[in-house]
Amino acid sequence: MKLFTATRADDRRSFLKKLGVGVSTALGSATVLAKTSNGKADDLASKVARLEAEQALRALYQQYQLSLDTSEMDAVLALFTDNAEVVFNGGVFCGREQGLSRLYRQHFVASKTGKRMDVAPGFAVPAEQLKERMAIAADMLSAKAVLPYSIQAGKPLESATSLASMAQSHGEGVQTWWEGGVYEISYVKDVKSDSWKIERLAYNTLSRADYRAGRSYAKPIDVPAFSACFPADTHGPDRLV
């Protein structure tokens, strides 16, 4: 009887020992699995956040184009940070309420500049030069993008006559042309509002032509870059490139 009891006790101890090893192994496997699952979940969350950020940045780019196309300059300016810069035609316009306001509200004459246009005949830019690129920082607080544009650009004709001033006040007296190229954009995220803003936008012009919508032909055009800054040029930039 004693031998039988001892044998059962030994078996029980052996069973419990084996059970303990099995449980430890199972727990160890579960821990590894949890770590792997968390890693996958983190990767998935990061990918989703990055896709959402990219969609928001593209929506901002589209809103910029739409607001320019409809000459809603207040809406354009609202897309920029307070200290934003815009590079256009050899000049740098600084500050949303100063340089940018001057560029969009004065230099970009209503209905004459910024409207989307089809590419001028014979002046298409090679597709590889218009390739879209976007890079979002690891901390998801800043981003850079290269995105294509094709617009009617323009500037007031330089004239001090009262007739020219009157024409400009009615949206005339403006030299216009077609130009295409890419926007080089730097974005930052406003953490408080959880929204993206444009910190710097540069027009990298790759092609220009004397062209109006509906024409079947276009001619090369040479547009002089800004040569003077504000206030010497009332529509001019804050500094030259």
pLDDT tops 50 at residue 19 = no
Q: State the Cα–Cα distance between residues 120 and 216, nearest whole angstrom.
A: 9
CA distances from 91 to 50, 83, 104, 238 (A): 33, 16, 13, 7
| Cα atoms found within 13 Å of the Cα of residue 82, Cβ hemisphere only | 1
Q: Binning pLDDT at 50, 70 and 90, where does residue 16 land? A: very low
pLDDT tops 60 at residue 136 = yes
31-86 residue pLDDT tens: 443 444 566 767 888 889 999 999 999 999 999 999 999 999 999 999 999 999 99
Query: CATH number of the domain at 42-240, please?
Result: 3.10.450.50
Q: Pick 187 or 20 by higher pLDDT.
A: 187
Domain locations in the chain?
A: 42-240
DSSP-derived letter for residue 86 is E
User: What is the average per-residue pLDDT within 86-99?
Assistant: 97
Among residues of the chain, what percentage have pLDDT more than 70?
Answer: 76
Question: Is the Cα torsion angle 176, 179, 184, 188 positive or negative in sign?
Answer: positive
Let me know: does 182 contact 149? Beta carbons within 8 Å.
yes
Residue 157, token pair as written in the block = 């004709």
User: Coil, helix or strand for 202?
Assistant: strand
Q: Binning pLDDT at 50, 70 and 90, where does residue 167 land? A: very low
Q: State the Cα–Cα distance between residues 87 and 93, nearest whole angstrom.
A: 6
User: What is the average per-residue pLDDT within 173-198?
Assistant: 92
Q: State the Cα–Cα distance between residues 86 and 134, nearest whole angstrom.
A: 19
Question: Which residues 6+ apart lie within 8 Å of 229 measured at CB?
Answer: 91, 236, 237, 238, 239, 240
